[in-house]
Amino acid sequence: MPQRLCVIEFITGGGLAGEPLPGTLAQEGERMLAALLGELGALPGIEITTTRDHRLSLLPGPARCVTIGPSDDPFAVWGRCIEDADAVWPIAPETGGVLERLCRLVLEQGRRLIGSSPEAIGVTASKHRCAEVLRWAGVPAIPTRPLQHGIPESDSGWVVKRDDGAGCTETFCFDDARALRAFAAGASNHGYVIQPYIAGTPASLSVLCRDGRAVLLSCNEQRIERQADRLSFDGVVVNALSRERPALEPLARAIAAALPGLAGYVGVDLILTPSGPIVVEVNPRLTTAYVGLAEALDMNVAAAVLGVFDGDLAPAPWAIGTGRKTVEVSTAHRPVTTPHP
């Protein structure tokens, strides 16, 4: 394990220090960061550094915090923190290439990256490209095409979202083709993809990956709500779908084989249908489910992730969801932290 570990959470860690903080995404980032730092703090011999948006309170615990102000270049500050570390664990959205850029910076400075390769991130950052790669490899994934390429046939409606979006941000649902065509006619709608709406149980997987191999940690049920033409992510029940493990373990392995650059913790969004699971997207980073994973599985997940990069992909025999707890993680709005006075 690294002696000096730098953890960079993009949204609360200064990536938007000169812009408004997005409430829901900031809250999710804060909770993932707190869960990760709590687990890392329980491991002996690790010196942790993280960064912090100037508007947020400093974090409790042993981590050293570097504050990023509104006039700072966050990538310059992160670069100095990376230089002082042995390894770096980034948490960032794929949107706009942010996660890929951050991971490349880590590798350019010769530090160990606790995460997926920039190449794998580049594929998964595009919902269209990721679906194509998975489907080519025989993995069931939702047919996905750029919105400007036309509206596919569908008897159940359509979902439109940002090709590089995070979560349910800017995710729209249409039953009526006329309303969809009006939306697609907007000049600002380039960068969107369209998928047929598929009914079923929204789910996610928490997976450890390395070199084309995978260990499935938990099968989770997602809370996805529809309000008018919008879809929203309202939380996840970690480990709630452990009964689906026999069908989903082969799927996790197939995804890892199709995208061998995936490494460490990976989240997979999918829909469970009567004819089998269908992959929606792959997230090469911590996801909201991570917040409840340690409690649900009674294990230090961060230690297992770090072990992956020491060549140990071994928690499968005992990190099984069957018989363990379920933990609900709600995204109901709450303050991120108490601001500085």
pLDDT at 336 over 70: no
Tell me which amino acid residue 265 is.
Answer: Y
Domain at 4-114: CATH code? 3.40.50.11770
**pLDDT score recorded for residue 188:** 67
pLDDT for position 226: 83
To the nearest 10 degrees (0 to 180), the angle between helices 301-308 and 290-297 is 100
Q: What is the mean pLDDT of residues 198-218?
A: 95
Contact assessment for residue 66 and residue 51, using Cβ atoms and an 8 Å cutoff: yes
Q: What angle do CA 180, 186, 188 make, to 5 degrees?
A: 125
Q: Is the pLDDT of residue 1 over 90?
A: no
Give the domain ranges of the chain: 4-114, 136-196, 201-330
Q: pLDDT-derived band of residue 330, with 50, 70 and 90 as boundaries?
A: confident
Give the C-alpha separation, 115 to 101, whole Å: 13
- pLDDT above 70 coverage of the chain, percent: 92
On the 0-12 / 13-18 / 19+ scale of CB atoms within 10 A, 227 is exposed
Neighbours of 253 (CB within 10 A): 17
What pLDDT score was predicted for residue 194? 94
Residue 13: its pLDDT value, please? 96
pLDDT reading at 33 higher than 60: yes
Q: Is 288:28 a contact under the CB 8 Å cutoff?
A: yes
The phi and psi torsions of 160 (rounded to 5 degrees) equal: -120, 135
Q: What is the pTM of this model?
A: 0.92
The per-residue pLDDT for 339 is: 38
Domain 201-330 annotated CATH 3.30.470.20: yes
Query: Across residues 149-164, what is the average pLDDT?
Result: 90
pLDDT of residue 110: 97
Q: Give 52's pLDDT tier (boundaries 50, 70, 90).
A: very high
